[in-house]
Structure 1
Amino acid sequence: MGDVNDPLASFAALRTAEGQGLLDAVRDVEPSQELAVATRLRREHPADLVSAALAQARLRQRAAAKFGAADAARMYFTPNGVEQSTRASVATYRARRFSDPGELGGLGVRSVADLCCGIGGDAIALARAGIAVLAVDRDPLTCAVARANAEVLGLADLIEVREADVTDVDTSPYDAVFVDPARRGGRGRIFDPEAYSPPLSWAVETARKAPRAALKIAPGIPHDAVPGEAEAEWISDGGDVKEAVLWFGGDAPGSHRATLLPSGDTLASPLATMLPDPDVRAVGRFLYEPDGAVIRAHLVAEVAARVGGGLIDETIAYVTSDAAVVTPYASAYEITDQLPFNVKKLKALLRERGVGILTVKKRGSAVEPEELRRKVKPQGPGSATVFLTRVGGAPTMLVGHPVG
């Protein structure tokens, strides 16, 4: 197997015929079976190669949620690669914006320099969109894994993997630049954009020099850190906010966009014409919970205008209205009860209604949903949703159920 302390040698051994056979043998091994399987396989194979195969099988199983079972079963991963890779659905959407000028905000590019490419998740999506990709990373093992992934997925003719410091790469031959700075360090997630590797300021200057560019950033980036010439897009997938992207060179500079996957619904507004914060009003018949991407993009007012509503509290992103309006940008609930925060009163109400299936949501409350669920002990065939929030500054419980 080579030097067991050399991760490159260990990875190379996995790609030999013996390594491939072991990967096939351990593909579906459950954690509870690993010790027995490892003991059996080590009778005929080097112990370190068996351990590497089992570790890769675990990573593939974890990666299936991001990449899909079919791709994950063929690809190679590192622990950081699984953790930091873009979900395939998000990478595919972003690649479509890069490639298709017919798409809303599409850039129509044919080549991209993918800086800080990691194990190649974004490069794969770009190549599948027909884009030629230069994928750059400074870590030798990461580059080897990215190169292997391009090969096993049949994309090696479109993806060139280069081991280099991204700050030394000439991106001028490419139609566009994509930068995904590392946002994790030895102590975990990094929140200061200037502590990214490379720093956000470097990525922005690189984007400004390119004809087209996109920078992947954390969704919690302060809005005052967004360059004025960039379009800032927040993307959610299945209701969970996954990332933010700064687009340069497109047709909507200085605007905010919220995009919801898998539907692809997108809500955008130029900063200059964004609506002011909605008025606060009494809780009406319906409560609207805007998607997280809408909230991050500061487009709650646009949702309130669509449903003819206002806020329940000036600091809470819940919209209320007496009208039932279908919108992809918010989940609608019909409110049946409004109570001041009081666990005993809520418990009595739920018991009276026979509620045994209780969904607890919170915004602006310090109470944890599981804590409340333990205290009220819901029982019965009925179901309800309770919102722990503030209404006009006062701790409040709103009870209702989803519309439709």
Structure 2
Amino acid sequence: MESSELVELLSPEALRLLDSLPPYSAGTDVVRAVAELRKAGHPAGRVAAVLSQSRLRARADSKFGPFAARMLFTEAGLEQATRLKVAALHAGRFQAAGVKWVADLGCGIGADALAIAALELEVTAVEKDEVTAALAAFNLAPWSNATVRHADATEVDLAGIDGVYLDPARRDNVRRLNNPADWTPSLDFAFDLAKRLPTGIKLGPGIDRDLIPEDAEAQWVTVDHDVVELGLWFGAVARPGIRRAALVLGEHGAAELTAAEDSEDAPVGELGEFIYEPDGSVIRARLIGQLARQIDARMVSASIAYLTADDAVATPFATCFRVLETFPYDERRLKKELALRGIGSLEIKKRGVDVDPAQLRKKLNLKGAKSATLILTRVAGRHTALLCERV
């Protein structure tokens, strides 16, 4: 978003117009909406700004719920923002630790700062990008205990602050930055703060695990089957004795596996009637072995994140499938077997097998009214196709 668009968007006329628009949906006729607003006398810049925000608010509903209808966004800011249910858990750590004043360094559009302020903690939200800082100030305006500063996070005076939260920017305008030294602020800066203050750091879930300090609590978070972040927690906001955690949020509510270290994998055993695909956060936290022991399962093959068992056990930490048929992995055999069963809708999953599911789907020439799940993996070291149904 350009500064000129921001100025237009923050005008009283634009904000009133934005709030008066009907909810944006996939069926919204944008051309007609533009024509009607222009006919009503609104300038082109204002129309473009408010329709863009209307679209972003609709997308933001999944992250912010009803709060989205009173917030402003940028494309990048919304994409990178913490979901409100996750931000509330972040804020709860500071509250439980007795922290009174949190600095949110690299606050983006203000999602985490909003959650912190909602718990009646003082929060100073710092954002280097001028446009994003202005939007954060708008989003946090309802909270008198929240202050937004347009500044470099590394240069902010932290006197009086007794807790810090950081979400380092890991992209520039055109590309993802792979070197943590290039992040804003850098990972070394964040770790240095963690030595002095209770600190939380939000990172991408796929970060190199070798970068995780030994004294950090590392919590991978899944929301509705999507691994959304890795949170590193230090000092009073880290839980004693926990260094690895997999938090799964979904229709079931919240469920968590925790451990003092990576868990040892379960032994490899014979394929049972059921196969389990562990949640992504369990895999990334390396708690597959702990999950296996919890549900009385065994590994399908060494170093492959599938478990198998003779009984189906309900768990929020894995998806369970019933194994219907087992075949050697051969495309011609698969095509024949699926055709015989009239399977026209096929979910394809794979681990430990070099195959492109999209290309394989084309080759299988699926036809029929039935549906199934195909799991391609190694069983006892052999490439195997498992025809399954979800339990």
Q: Name whichever of 346-355 and 291-300 sits farther off.
A: 346-355
Determine the structure 2 residue equivalent to 1:217: 203
Report the AA paired with residue 165 of structure 1.
D
Within 5 Å, give how 1:307-386 maps onto structure 2.
Answer: 307-386=295-374
Q: Report deviation, 1:213.
A: 1.0
**Partners of 2:242 and 2:258 within 8 A in 1:** no
Q: Which residue of 2 aligns with 1:76?
A: 72
The number of residue pairs the alignment matches comes to 385
Shift in Å, 1:50 = 1.9
Percent sequence identity over aligned pairs:
40
Structure 2 residue runs without a partner (length 5+): none
Per-residue Cα deviation, 1:170-216 (whole angstroms, up to 9, x for no partner): 32412310000001123322233222111111111012111x11000
Cα distance in 2, alignment partners of residues 231 and 60 from structure 1: 34
Instruction: Measure how far apart 1:67 and its partner are.
Output: 1.7
Q: State how far apart, in whole Å, the 2-side matches of 1:27 and 1:143 are.
A: 27
Paired residue for 2:156? 169
Q: Which residue of 1 aligns with 2:14?
A: 19
1:290 maps to which of 278, 282, 288 = 278
Please say if residues 277 and 320 of structure 2, whose CA atoms lie closer than 8 Å, have aligned partners that are also in contact.
yes
State the TM-score, normalizing by the size of structure 2. Answer: 0.91
Aligned AA (1:190): L
Which residue of structure 2 aligns with residue 391 of structure 1?
Answer: 379
Taking the aligned partners of 2:348 and 2:188, their CA distance within structure 1 comes to 40
Q: Is the 8 A contact 1:280 1:312 kept in 2?
A: yes
| Residue aligned with 2:126, SS | strand
Conserved 8 A contact 1:341-1:396: yes
Higher mean displacement: 20-29 or 85-94: 20-29
Deviation at 1:354, TM superposition (A): 3.4
Deviations 1:341-365 (A, max 9, x none): 1122223323333333322112223
Give the match for residue 258 of structure 2: 268
Q: Report Cα offsets for 1:270-305 as digits up to 9, x if no partner.
A: 12xx43222222322211111000000011111111
The answer as to whether partners of 1:119 and 1:142 remain within 8 angstroms in 2 is: yes
Offset of 1:234 from its aligned partner?
A: 0.3
Q: 1:181 to 1:27 in 2, by over 3 A?
A: farther
- Asked whether 1:117 is paired with 2:107, we answer yes
Bigger shift: 371-380 or 320-329? 371-380
Cα distance in 1 for partners of 2:133, 2:71 equals 13
Structure 2 residue aligned with 1:90: 86
Paired residue secondary structure (1:209): coil
RMSD: 2.2
Q: Distance in 2 between matches of 1:79 and 1:402?
A: 36
Of residues 235, 244, 267, the one that matches 2:230 is 244
8 Å contact kept, 2:25–2:58:
no
In structure 2, the partner of 1:144 is: 134
CA 1:383–1:51 in structure 2 vs 1: closer, same or farther (change >3 Å)? closer
- TM-score, normalized by length of structure 1? 0.88
Name the residue aligned to 1:3: none
Give 1:25 deviation, angstroms.
Answer: 5.0
Classify the secondary structure of the residue corresponding to 1:287.
Answer: strand
Q: Is the 8 A contact 2:107 2:113 kept in 1?
A: yes
Deviation at 1:109, TM superposition (A): 2.7
Would you say the 8 A contact 2:276–2:320 is kept in 1?
yes
**CA spacing shift, 1:191–1:278, aligned 2, 3 Å:** farther
Q: Distance in 2 between matches of 1:17 and 1:221?
A: 43
SS in 1 for 2:92: helix
* Matched residue SS, 1:53: helix
